[in-house]
Chains A and B, each alone.
Chain A
Amino acid sequence: MTVPIGSKVTFYVTSADVVHGFFVPGTDLNMMAIPGWVNQETHVFRKAGDYLVICHEYCGIDHQDMFAKIEVRP
């Protein structure tokens, strides 16, 4: 996902199977993804760079491979 710097982004998070986490290290974007519920948080990206998004709740054998990237570009 790529967003321009200064973007205000609202994330809606849920899960179709087990509990997962949604965490962007270096920010306060920190949510649990719970089956049957929708979690929500808004964040303004003020600094350019690559942000790592990781699942930070154990969800199964490949939990450590569950990650993504948010690119914040000028």
Chain B
Amino acid sequence: MKPAAQVRNENRVVIAHIYAATAAIALGAVFGVFQGLARTSAFGAPAWFDYYRILTMHGVLMALVFTTFFITGLSLFVTYRSIPRERRLTVAWFGWSLMLLGTAMAALTILRGNATVLYTFYAPLKASPWFYIGATLLVLGTWIVAFEIFENVVFFRKTHFGQPIPLVVFCAAATFVMWIVATLGVVAEMGLLIPWAFGWTPGINVMLTRMFFWYFGHPLVYFWIMGAYIIWYNVIPTRYGGNVFSDGLTRLTFVMLILLSTPVGIHHEFMEPGISSTWKMLHTVLTYGVAVPSFITAFAIFASFELAAIKQGRRGFIATVKSLPWNDPPFSGAALGMLLFIIGGFGGLVNASYSMDTVVHNTIWIVGHFHVTVGGPVALTFLGAAYWMIPRLTGRALWKPEWALFQTRLWFFGMLIMSLSMHYAGLLGAPRRTAEVGYLGASVANTWEPYMLLAAAGGFFLFVSILTFVAVAVGTLLQNAKTESMEASFATPAEPAAVTPALLQHVFRWGALAFVLAVLAYAGPLGELLRHPGYLAPGMRTW
């Protein structure tokens, strides 16, 4: 056992990450609900309301800040708890501080109106350099956190020679191995954007920045998904007395995600010139490949449900579903998130198909899609997991657990209403990221209006749900009585467990192979771009 003071200090680092994430989602929700209302002509927006600035803030806070801080906090938590040792926390605090500094720089630049470039910051929209520097520092901070996790993996291997690293730590390390490979793209893009934003370079190759962005942008979503999978595989079975279905299959899923998350980004660039259909096709096929670990996960999670039900003497689909702890907030968050992922997963297959993407690209269908994915399985699992982590970090019982349960259910219905309306309005042609979609009463625009209203209603439910989450998270922190056990346990395979092949243990070597795959998948399209006489766009501020 570790001395209590050591655990307390580790918990402080994790608490700092989780509450930074909480602050981001709270602020992001306020900005989000305004957008939903602004897009309906019934409410409209007051004159002072700067839709695009608020949209930039919402996207950055939710997609980049909330998710990242939660995953860094979660991964540090599972690593610290699974590998008990004396450790200095200087590196961990440094990583957190850098992430927070970067976030503050980027957020203040956006709020001052100097970076209304949305969270994709497509050049040649030219933001203040401090926005790009802030975003870069946020990423570099995550690299420090990754280093902290990897250092613990190396320590474990040295001190437990021949033993596999604990499954949950493997999952966290795999998530950050993938993240390092992926973020090389955005750091390369920042290497072009920062000198250009300062005016040191006269212009920028727009297609090159877009390719670097999407090299990073799609694996970013798998970073979120892997964060949710860490919880689904390792934490959720402990809520119903179940087991990990298979240690080997879980590691295989994460290895596949390391390999296949990155060489897929061009499916975001189907509608762009300058990339031949050969490469668009290759990235389509690989995108279908990355759906495989998600199908494996669907199988493994339900198999774990079923085996737990059989252990209780229940058989059959309905008996299995009934045996699950639906009133337990952490389980409810994850399980309702899984249901939303069914919509998100199939929608993603539509987006990854060139001919179907021509109908939905840059329509609000896409917004519906990523809300039902990052805002479905990912965010809802994270909020549920926060209800599991916070008592274990603070020793305090959850304040109003019935609110927590209500929060997960309200989120599910709010997201269902909002995302399905967005999907449908997108099929009817409603564009994304547009302040008003009336188009002077064009008849096609009138067909969107009821769905914009429904989406706004769903968004309002989500807003209330997030306020409820913040109330429970902060309320728990303010309670005086420390009544809860702070032990955290993770799911293990049922005995007798099959031996996991040694091939699946080498998380860093798979990372190196993933980098090679990514280079192979991008060398061709990058070569095509660079063969053309490069037009360098000077860039401008159009807001």
Instruction: Using CB atoms and an 8 Å cutoff, list the residues of chain A in contact with chain B.
Output: 17-19, 21, 23, 25-26, 28-32, 34-40, 50, 52, 54, 56-61, 63-64, 67, 69
Contact = CB atoms under 8 A, between A and B. Distances in A.
10 contacts: A23-B362, A30-B358, A30-B361, A31-B271, A32-B269, A34-B207, A35-B124, A35-B537, A57-B433, A58-B434
A25 B122 contact: no
Contacts of A25: 363, 428-431, 444
Contact of B542 (A21, A35, A60, A69): A60
Contacts of A69: 442
Contacts of A32: 269, 271-273, 362
Interface residues of B, number: 45
What does DSSP make chain B's interface, helix, strand, loop or mixed?
loop
A58 B52 contact: yes
Nearest to A14: B273
A34 B538 CA distance: 13
Between B116, B358, B362, B535, the greatest number of chain A beta carbons within 10 A of the residue's beta carbon is seen for: B362
Interface of B: 52, 116, 118, 122, 124-125, 205-207, 210, 269, 271-274, 355, 357-359, 361-363, 428-437, 439, 442-445, 534-537, 539-540, 542-543
A23 B431 contact: yes
Contacts of B543: 60-61
Contacts of B274: 34, 37
Contact of A30 (B125, B359, B437, B536): B359
A64 B437 CA distance: 7
A17 B432 CA distance: 20
B272 A52 contact: no
Contact of B435 (A38, A40, A54, A63): A63
A27 to B, nearest CB: 8
Contacts of A36: 205-207, 534-537
A63 B434 contact: yes
Contacts of A58: 52, 118, 122, 433-434
A50 B444 CA distance: 9
Contacts of A50: 442-443
Contact of B442 (A18, A37, A52, A63): A52
Contact of A28 (B358, B534, B536): B358
